[in-house]
Chain A
Amino acid sequence: MDFEPTIVSFLCNWCSYTGADLAGTSRMKYAHNIRIIRVMCSGRIDPIFVLESFKDGADGVLICGCHPGDCHYHEGNYKCLRRYHLLKKYIAQMGIDPGRLHLEWISASEGKQFAELADSFTETVRGLGPCHVKEIIENFA
């Protein structure tokens, strides 16, 4: 059986969540593996959310925020970007392929881009295979 990854996605309310809504209103089809959590701003995405997602069994984590300069709260996305780069390094240290974490800017009008991103990232994660962090932790406990 083909492996079906589960991907937790954090989308900011103002641009990216609206973009994902637009993909829906436009009836664009994309991979069902993407599961979305709404936050007000990508700046709210605490590194803990990403780490816990992997710990709870996510095979991939997708972060989307407003394009640079467009953040509803001025600069939350820049803070998110900084944390993202650190997180990439950090999860690599923990044995999680950094390719499992991805960030992309999606504006409210980019429904199509969101649908394409959902598909392409799902394929990337599918290629990486299941993430075993959860099992490893459970075995240790």
Chain B
Amino acid sequence: MEEVRIGVYVCWCGNNIAKMVDVEDVSREMETLPNVVISRDYKYMCSDPGQDLIISDVKKHKLNRVVVAACSPRIHELTFRKALENAGLNPYMFQMANIREHVSWVHRSRENATKKAKSLVAAAINRIQWHEALNKRSVEIDPATLIVGGGISGISAALEIADSGKQVYLVEKTSQLGGYAAQIDLISPFMYNAAQLINPKIEHVYIHPNIKVFLNTQIEEISGYIGNFETKITNSENQSIELKFGNIILAIGLSTFNPSKIQNYKYGIIPDVVTSLELEQVLKSGKILTNDGNVPQNIAIIHCVGSRNSNYHEYCSRLCCKNALKYSNLVRSAIPDANIFEIYADMRAMGNGCEELYSATSLKNVMFLMFDQKNGLPEVREASSKDNCKMLIEFDEKLSGERIEVPADLVILMVAKEAHKEAKKLAQTVGISMCGNQFFIERHPKLDPVATTTDGIYVVGSCQAPKDIPDSVAQARAAAARILGTINKGSVEVEVTTAKVNEDTCCGCQTCISVCPYTAISFDEEKQVSVVNEVLCKGCGTCGSACPTGAIRSQHFTDRQILSQIKGLLDKSFELQEG
């Protein structure tokens, strides 16, 4: 093995570290440790002069490893790896000790903070002895994209990508495109006609030379990895077709809550209790009528059916309040003298124009009555012949504190939006995660709401969380832009800190295969050893901790590296004093 020559750099971070940690003392003491050729402290290691210091030392002192004690590696690890590359070193010959977030900012005693800093840096020095150079790998990107789901999200993404001249395969489970948006009449709050908005888009998709639409088609299996996925689909003529593509967009939309689960509402028992989606069909027909063909005089709209209730879905479905307000407005113009009741738990009409719609609705002689989810839900029952209405809805009205009865001839249930029934199956097919409510999880809830933790797979629209049309379209186009970016680049870099098998010590027990979450390990029957597909491996290291012979190594997190780090951390000379 080549001689190990380590450079250690202790950052002051202005005063952020230096105030609580005696950085000069740390630096001095580190210089006495084995293989440390040079140790320095400097005001701002991440600054250009700080990085230049490393680069010139690497050259001057023939350093082959660099330890920086500074902030969290989550912030500057990449910065310093780049600096190492500039100095002609492999970027993985680097280790950071976090003495800011984990030391100077969280402790009170300078003496102990300094000791702890020393032990963290010593651990990094110990660890880095065993670092190995790892080489960047990239894979080529197949320029085609698979989009699963032909609703407004899938359509928007498809057009965005296809218009840039790239191939799209759009797979839709039902017999038509348009999804949820195609089922509704007018779109709240600005009352655009949904059909007028979406039909031209659908037409455009069908005739687009770069989009191939597969209706009545389901995805059974997807194999591969970013840049190189493939699937077999069966089309309506029962032909099996093989598709290859580099990226995937999941846009399967949502399902709605089945309100017969809440017995209070008598859905499925009294025919004039309908869901919001069923009402859309009524509205499309142009006439609001009861089941027996009469014009209803009393219309009640019940909110939060299955939403914001821990017995059903704890979350807010986000779209219902503004739709409920839409119904009040549409009923008011269709039946000017009707009594309209909005029976709500909380009014959450958010987004552009929605609060305005709420204010406008409240001026239209609509009764807003509040119920308390925790205090029992409204109870719908058939009225008696002397009641002059078809149904009565009884509940504790929260604002007045009284138990009241509301007459109704038509009850509209604002049903919760829930994850698509096929979401779980699809998540398992493609290998992405779902949240507890079975919506797909994005890579980062704040900073990366489009990608998933599996490279090359994106989630858009309501399969990630209930969304309205503008939000769905925005997310769809964002995913399209991301994909076009990688296609234009032609290739992407993939994880290099993958697992690696030592064929000599692998005993062929296949334990690693059973624990791998990515099916990245297969078994070579001939050699009787495990083989890692480096492109599929994400470097979690689970196989490394399960392997009984130590034959499988998590690169950059090897047993040896971590065990040395532990030893350095527990070095007696940095033991703490009574604080």
Contacts and interface: CB of A to CB of B under 8 A. Distances in A.
Interface of A: 1-2, 4, 6, 8, 13, 17-18, 20-21, 23-25, 27-33, 35-41, 43-49, 52-53, 56-58, 69, 72-76, 79, 83, 115
B545 A24 contact: no
Nearest to A83: B545
A115 B578 CA distance: 19
B78 interface: no
The size class of the interface chain B forms with chain A is: 35 or more
B98 interface: yes
Interface centre among B433, B515, B566, B570 (most CB of A within 10 A): B566
Contacts of B109: 32
Interface in B521-564: 538-542, 544-546, 554, 557, 559, 562-563
B579 A18 contact: no
Contact of A4 (B100, B538, B579): B579
Contacts of A6: 570, 575-576
A8 to B, nearest CB: 6
Contacts of B100: 24
A97 B566 CA distance: 20
Interface stretch (B115-123, B185-193, B270-278, B286-294): B115-123
B73 interface: yes
B313 interface: no
B551 to A, nearest CB: 13
A72 B175 CA distance: 36
Contacts of B359: none
Nearest to B75: A21
B223 interface: no
Contacts of A57: 570, 572
A3 to B, nearest CB: 8
A62 to B, nearest CB: 13
Contacts of A4: 575-579
A39 to B, nearest CB: 6
A-B CB proximity, top 8 nearest: A24-B101, A44-B541, A43-B542, A73-B540, A46-B545, A24-B105, A41-B540, A4-B576
B506 to A, nearest CB: 17
Contact of A48 (B101, B103, B554, B559): B559
Contact of A37 (B101, B433, B518, B565): B565
Interface in B105-130: 105-109, 112-113, 116, 119-120, 123
B403 interface: no
B449 interface: no
A58 B106 contact: no
Interface of B: 72-74, 98, 100-103, 105-109, 112-113, 116, 119-120, 123, 433, 435-436, 453, 497, 515, 517-518, 538-542, 544-546, 554, 557, 559, 562-563, 565-567, 569-570, 572, 575-579
Contact of B101 (A13, A25, A44, A46): A25
B540 A35 contact: no
Contacts of A37: 123, 562, 565-566, 569
Contacts of B563: 48-49, 52
A32 B73 contact: no
A52 B436 CA distance: 36
Contacts of B116: 32, 35
A115 B105 CA distance: 12
B518 to A, nearest CB: 8
A69 B578 CA distance: 40
Interface centre among B102, B518, B544 (most CB of A within 10 A): B102
B541 A40 contact: yes
B437 to A, nearest CB: 11
Contacts of B575: 4, 6
B104 to A, nearest CB: 8
B106 A27 contact: yes
Contacts of A1: 578
16 contacts: A4-B576, A17-B72, A20-B101, A32-B103, A32-B576, A33-B576, A38-B98, A41-B541, A46-B545, A49-B562, A58-B566, A69-B433, A73-B517, A74-B517, A75-B517, A76-B517
A39 B100 CA distance: 18
Given A1-B578, A53-B566, A39 B541 contact: yes
A47 B544 CA distance: 11
A45 B101 CA distance: 22
Given A32-B116, A72-B453, 7 more contacts: A2-B578, A8-B566, A30-B107, A32-B108, A44-B545, A69-B436, A79-B515
A77 to B, nearest CB: 10
